[in-house]
Chain A
């Protein structure tokens, strides 16, 4: 087992080298083109496209003899696949234009009808004498091991083309995907650009037939960019991560299938892409579940701290400087031990002076100005929301708590000017930084 692993990984066979290079290049190209496909919200069109290639492939297979071409020639079959894939996309557009059907219905109709036609022709071929249909199955389920070096050159050229076009037209594609109507009014040829982008997707699909097959090719167009989105908020970085993820998934899939000979390579490639997706969903730097959970917990902690400070300030406002735990407890529905730990935390941070028993405490200089700032912001919002926005008064307190965390100081100053003098005098404590 270890021995064969190293054999595969160190690329000791010529054949392995070809297969791995071809599969990785395809994965990277799919990840790149797929980024724009995903952002253009056309993922399902990629799926329909894959399925719609089948009748073209079978037809090309049947007609090969007539033209004197070997029915196993990949380029010949790819030509058939391209024609019927493009015809499938045309059918989607036609249905959309001539009827009031929604996109999803149009896509489902074309996918099933084209695939059905392909399956019918495929069984007809399988009943022909000679059992030649074996060559076709590798295109349905994908079998990169059957890749010849000629096929690998085709994959290389196609991938370079996809990378080149995406690189040169990066900003044009970005604009197309983000805001089509603005692109049109600014004078960009939106329709040709769109056609070019879809052309790249067709090319990737055709290249992918041999690697992952008709049924699964959409996976490599969609999963890598979807996973990459968890890692970056920047399209450039996302496209690179997506291309890398596509290439890596293909590599892992091919190596795994070399070690587990019974399993189809296409499926293993898709599964390794899914593994990467799962990992990104969890650990993604920008939107992963873990980082989101941590950020939310941090925000919750800050919110609780601010609540405690405000409650103490409000208690002190009623008269005495020293505030007891019971007084603060009565302010809000919080748990006693939660409040206790928050208060000892605030004491450690030097905002509170607490009695050794922890039963009573008072804001010290730093704590007082911090609490003053919080209360001021909060009340500003309260007045603002009550006077200027159609927010139900019962929700003001909760929303104000959230909003003051996103509010910057300049906006606070603007708000202050908006509020009438009377309200400010009565309700808003002076800005500690301004020394009003």
Chain B
């Protein structure tokens, strides 16, 4: 596969005349996990949403596997932020995961037993086999996050775009998600995550995109996470982070095996 899973050229996004993304250029490499990192309000989620056409871009080009999204939708799965939906909605975990199969099921046809089985398998993959029938408000925050992941899994996509899957989840969920990311990669899939935590980024991800309205740097984590790049991304607040960075960019820094 010569084309990149995701390529973004000169993407500009503005909310009410205020620029949020400024000429963002981005290239995601296949079969790797990439973290999009940056300070609050840097446009991390906006980048994903604009790439997926959820919010209009002022200009720019976004290609998935060398084609516009419309042609390759089934190969791309989106995991929105957990807070973006109402978890009081009257559906079970299994129902939510089955939503990832709706396209496969097609218009007007109901969800059948075989689809429910597929949904259950996806739930088992994220360690929630026992929770399939639970109403979604009775799940913990971490479990809700895993339900969203299972929905993307059920879609059997090749590129997964995730908006802060590791934000405020418990340790068990974090482990489950990290195991899953590794497995997706092993199967040839590509994962892009918006990530907040600078301390763990080099440990959890292969590549890093540093973003603050524009793309400051991108590439393998060890090359990108330099004090200089981080200062450009985070500005004056960096002094605190210096030590952590030196630690992480050292060769042989802790990595998940």
Interface residues of A (CB under 8 A from B): 39, 41, 100, 168-172, 174-175, 177-179, 181-182, 184-188, 229, 232-235, 238, 388, 406, 408, 411, 414, 418
Contact = CB atoms under 8 A, between A and B. Distances in A.
B107 A172 contact: yes
B108 A169 contact: yes
Contacts of A171: 99, 102, 105, 110-111
B52 A235 contact: no
Query: Which of B74, B78, B91, B151 counts the most A-chain CB atoms under 10 A from its CB?
Result: B91
- Mostly, the B contact residues are mixed
A233 B135 CA distance: 6
B56 interface: no
30 contacts: A39-B90, A168-B108, A172-B107, A172-B108, A174-B99, A175-B102, A178-B85, A178-B89, A178-B91, A179-B80, A179-B84, A179-B85, A181-B54, A181-B78, A181-B80, A181-B84, A182-B80, A184-B54, A185-B77, A186-B102, A186-B155, A187-B74, A229-B90, A233-B90, A233-B92, A233-B135, A234-B135, A235-B90, A388-B171, A414-B171
Contacts of B86: 41, 178
- Mostly, the A contact residues are helix
B99 A179 contact: yes
A182 B54 CA distance: 9
B96 interface: yes
A414 B172 contact: yes
Interface of B: 16, 49, 52-54, 70, 73-74, 76-78, 80, 84-86, 89-92, 95-96, 99-100, 102-103, 105, 107-108, 110-111, 130, 135, 140, 151, 155, 171-172, 175
A184 B51 CA distance: 12
Contacts of B100: 186
Nearest to A170: B110
A185 B54 contact: yes
B67 to A, nearest CB: 14
Given A100-B16, A414-B175, 10 more contacts: A41-B86, A177-B89, A181-B54, A182-B80, A184-B53, A185-B52, A187-B73, A233-B135, A411-B172, A418-B171
Contacts of A177: 89
Nearest to B131: A408
Contacts of A418: 171
Contacts of B73: 185-187
A179 B148 CA distance: 11
A40 B89 CA distance: 10
Contacts of B91: 174, 178, 234-235
A102 B31 CA distance: 43
B237 to A, nearest CB: 20
Nearest to A229: B90
A238 to B, nearest CB: 5
A178 B49 contact: no
Nearest to A237: B90
A234 B90 CA distance: 5
Contacts of B80: 179, 181-182
A182 B74 CA distance: 12
Contacts of B49: 181
Contacts of A238: 90
Nearest to A225: B90
B78 A235 contact: no
A88 to B, nearest CB: 26
Nearest to B79: A182
A166 to B, nearest CB: 11
Contacts of B52: 184-185
A146 B118 CA distance: 53
